[in-house]
Amino acid sequence: MMFINFEVTSLILIASCFIALCGSVIIWKDSVNITHSASHASSLAIAISSIFQIPYFIISAIIGIIFGGIKSTINRQNIKITTNDAIYIMGNVSMAIGILLEISFNHLKNIHQYLTGDIFLFTIQDMLALGCISVFLGCIYLKNINNIIINITYNRKFWILESFFINALEVSGIIIFTKIFGIITSSFVLGVLPIIAKKISKNPIQMIINIFVISLFILLLSYFLAIYFDFYFSFISSGIVLWILVLFIVFRK
């Protein structure tokens, strides 16, 4: 008989909300690079948290504030570098520093966690932090939903989506998500599902709902398959997303 861990299922529900809300704004801003850069930066967050025994959600918040501040500054100032390029560089530099720290302090197991995550060893603090970020994003969207729909419909930039607060929340959330689910799952789920949902959705609200439903299905199915086959959750979830992408491409032709 398969044992259902209600803490894990609660985490999956919260994670699906985060994927829907964060993934949508990433697509609306055409900034998919931030997914990969922030997930790379989680290597540095994991290293600092484990070496100096600082709660992970605090490190993720600090890195999110730094990323958000730099991105907002570049948007305001006439700097000869695009925000996507700057975030991409920061993400890769953070990953390199994080891996060097982990090797230097003999925390090699953290590299494995960075790649695959561990859905069964997450902390309640991380789950609550991801939930709070999802709530904040949801409240911002609800408050500005009419303006968001109008600006997306006419393909115009909307200042609230480019704000420091949104950028910081996105990065912090992705860093926490990556620690729990691993960079493999983070890249596939946050990078691919929102793009597919956009293609099959008629409006922004439908897009958010579609991402949530698809994410919830994939994460729950991956969870049960990981238990049944005693295999890595991240590999299973990434494989499912890949199959969905292939089927989508084939049947969209």
Q: Is residue 51 part of a domain?
A: yes
Mean per-residue pLDDT for 61-75? Answer: 81
Q: Is residue 152 part of a domain?
A: yes
State in Å, rounded, how far the first CA of the chain is from the last one. 42
Q: Is the pLDDT of residue 238 over 80?
A: yes
**Measured CA distances, 65 to 70, 108, 215 (Å):** 8, 27, 27
Mean per-residue pLDDT for 90-110? Answer: 83
Q: Is residue 162 part of a domain?
A: yes
Q: Answer with the residue of higher pLDDT: 55 or 81.
A: 55
Q: Is residue 208 part of a domain?
A: yes
Look at the chain and report how many structural domains it folds into.
1
Give the SS3 label for residue 40.
Answer: helix
Q: Is residue 1 part of a domain?
A: no
Distance CA 89, CA 95 (A): 10
User: What is the distance, to the nearest Å, from the Cα of residue 20 to the centroid of all Cα atoms in its chain?
Assistant: 10
In terms of residue numbers, what domain contains 96?
Answer: 6-252
The amino acid at 217: F
Q: Is residue 195 part of a domain?
A: yes
Best-predicted range by mean pLDDT among 90-94, 201-205, 220-224?
Answer: 220-224
Residue 1: the pLDDT is 44
Residue 253: the pLDDT is 58
Q: Is residue 188 part of a domain?
A: yes
Mean per-residue pLDDT for 218-225? Answer: 92
pLDDT in tens, 7-58: 889 999 999 999 999 988 888 877 777 888 888 888 888 889 888 888 888 9
Q: Is residue 72 part of a domain?
A: yes
**Residue 91 confidence class, pLDDT cut points 50, 70, 90:** confident
pLDDT in tens, 123-175: 889 899 999 999 998 998 888 878 877 777 666 666 666 777 888 898 899 99
- What CATH number does the domain containing 115 carry? 1.10.3470.10
